[in-house]
Amino acid sequence: MLNYTKYITVEPGKRSGQPCIRGMRITVYDILIYLDAGNTMDELLENFPGLTKKDIYASLAYTADAEKRISKIAS
C-alpha cells in the first residue's frame, strides 16, 4: 500500500482541517466525490493541474486506512 502520509496533510486553518492533498485545497473527500460521480483518473488530472496519480492513490489509501480504523473502533 502507498504511504499516504507523504501526500495527505491536515492543517487546522485549511479547508476546516480536512485531509488535503499535499497542502493544496483539494481534499481527499473531493477526490472521492469526483471518482464517485464517474470521473476518470485522467479527467481528474486534467481538471486539477497540480494533482498526480500518486495523489489520487494516496487519497484511496488514506480512505481505506480510515475505514480500517473505524471498523476496529466499532468492533
CA separation for the pair 73, 68 (Å, rounded)? 9
The pLDDT tens digits for 10-63 are: 999 999 999 999 989 999 999 999 999 999 999 999 999 999 999 999 999 999
Global pTM value: 0.88
Domains of the chain, residue spans: 4-67
With H, G, I as helix, E, B as strand and everything else as coil, classify residue 21.
strand
The residue with greater pLDDT, 3 or 75, is: 3
As beta bridge partners, residue 21 has 8
- 15: buried, middle or exposed (CB in 10 Å: 19+, 13-18, 0-12)? middle
- Determine the pLDDT at residue 75: 67
Which residues are within 8 A (CB) of 2 and not within 5 positions of it... i.e. 6 or more apart? 54, 57, 58, 61
What is the CATH architecture assignment of 4-67?
Orthogonal Bundle (1.10)
